[in-house]
Homo-oligomer: A and B are copies of this chain.
Amino acid sequence: MHWWFVVADEALKARWLEAVSGAEIVSDLAELGEEARWVLLDASLLGTGLLMPERLAELTQNRRLVLADPLHQQERGLTALASGCAGYCHAYTEPDALRQILEVVASGEVWVGRELLSRLLGGLNANLPAPSEAWREPLTEREQAVAECAAQGLVNKEIASRLDITVRTVKAHLSSVFAKLGVRDRVQLALRLRA
């Protein structure tokens, strides 16, 4: 995991390096090569006051980009995330907080501060569509429970412990589930339940 910092301001650079020493530093976006897969970008280097979704989408192709914005506003944050950024934060956020943000992004997640999250949750739609659960129809309650566990990646021992039954019972239910759903093993079961 190697971070690239796109930052021109010396004070900001120092602050970021406090969070992640050893990062590669460039002061202009044009200097970013394809090898820069994990990037922290000072939004002020984007050139315009506004965040251009197309520009951000272009920049975020084939890389994880965290946008550090001196103008820390919800609208800009939403635009950044909606345009493919893997995180949005204040440019001058505390080094400890910045390190955590980069760690979260490095592990594959997307970083959202609580303000943005609150904003997003505020627009929650009550009538959310239900996920596909057609797989449940032919199964008994116990079979469903065992199937869910298996599809979540648990081994038979763990399922037995979780549901307070023996491994033999787990196998019995799984065999029945496999037959009813027409899959041959738990990998295919997991794929089926996630479809």
Contact = CB atoms under 8 A, between A and B. Distances in A.
Interface stretch (A22-30, A66-74, A172-180): A66-74
A123 B78 CA distance: 11
Interface string A140-159: 00000000111111110010
Interface in A70-115: 70-75, 78, 81-86, 90, 92, 96-97, 100, 103-104, 107-110, 112-114
A84 B153 contact: no
Interface string A111-141: 0111001111101111111110011010000
A108 B181 CA distance: 11
A123 B9 CA distance: 35
Contacts of A187: 150-151, 153, 186-187, 190
A75 B75 CA distance: 25
Q: How large is the interface on A (under 10, 10 to 19, 20 to 34, 35 or more residues)?
A: 35 or more
B120 A109 contact: no
A121 B124 contact: no
Contact of A191 (B10, B90, B152, B195): B152
Contacts of A167: none
A127 B97 contact: no
A60 B129 contact: yes
27 contacts: A9-B162, A11-B162, A64-B129, A64-B134, A70-B149, A71-B148, A74-B128, A75-B128, A75-B130, A75-B131, A81-B117, A81-B121, A82-B121, A82-B125, A82-B127, A84-B129, A86-B128, A97-B107, A100-B104, A108-B114, A108-B131, A108-B195, A119-B128, A120-B123, A152-B191, A155-B185, A190-B190
Given A104-B104, A112-B112, 9 more contacts: A70-B148, A75-B130, A75-B131, A78-B124, A81-B126, A83-B127, A108-B131, A110-B112, A123-B123
